[in-house]
Amino acid sequence: MMVWTRLFVGAITFLAAHLVIVARWHAWFAGGGSAGGATPGSPGTSDAYTPWFMNSTSAVAFTSVAFLVVNLVVALAGARHRPGQAVRGAGYVAAGAVVVMTIVLFTSPGGPGNLFPLAIVIGAGLITVSSVVGAMAAWLVTKAPLARSTSK
């Protein structure tokens, strides 16, 4: 896959994950920080926060798994047989996602907040790590048949 394709895949993946989080915030991700039994809208529940992938641990997990799976598929489709190529491809996907993540952060209601540099760095780190893990998993899958065929 070309670089622009991977950047586009990352952008679309983050946008799709964000739209799912926004649509299902109360149903799937309402446990963000809640100790159970808290009233909606009170501090400690996800109702107190805007839908954002780092405002709930389950939303972080959802987004991370989405990037892991997407990079697994992208790396398998791209047939990257070297670890450096797999990591580079995952970096392109993550870069596309970080661009859209930053745009979403700055256009969200209430603005980005005072700690937006930290949100960008931590979000970029989460997306990059899960992207690289997915790409390396694909590399391991493609490496195993190659290792078996050369050892005969």
Per-residue pLDDT tens digits for 64-94: 999 999 999 999 887 656 788 889 999 999 9
Supply the pLDDT for residue 21: 93
Q: What is the pTM of this model?
A: 0.82
131-135: average pLDDT:
96
Helices 3-23 and 116-150 cross at an angle (nearest 10°) of: 120
Residue 137 and residue 72 in contact, taking contact as beta carbons nearer than 8 Å: yes
Structure tokens at 35: 């100790």
Residues with Cβ within 8 Å of 60's Cβ and at least 6 positions away in sequence, in order, are 53, 54, 126
| pLDDT grade for 35, boundaries at 50, 70 and 90 | very low
Supply the pLDDT for residue 86: 87
Q: Residue 26 is which amino acid?
A: H
111-120: average pLDDT:
91
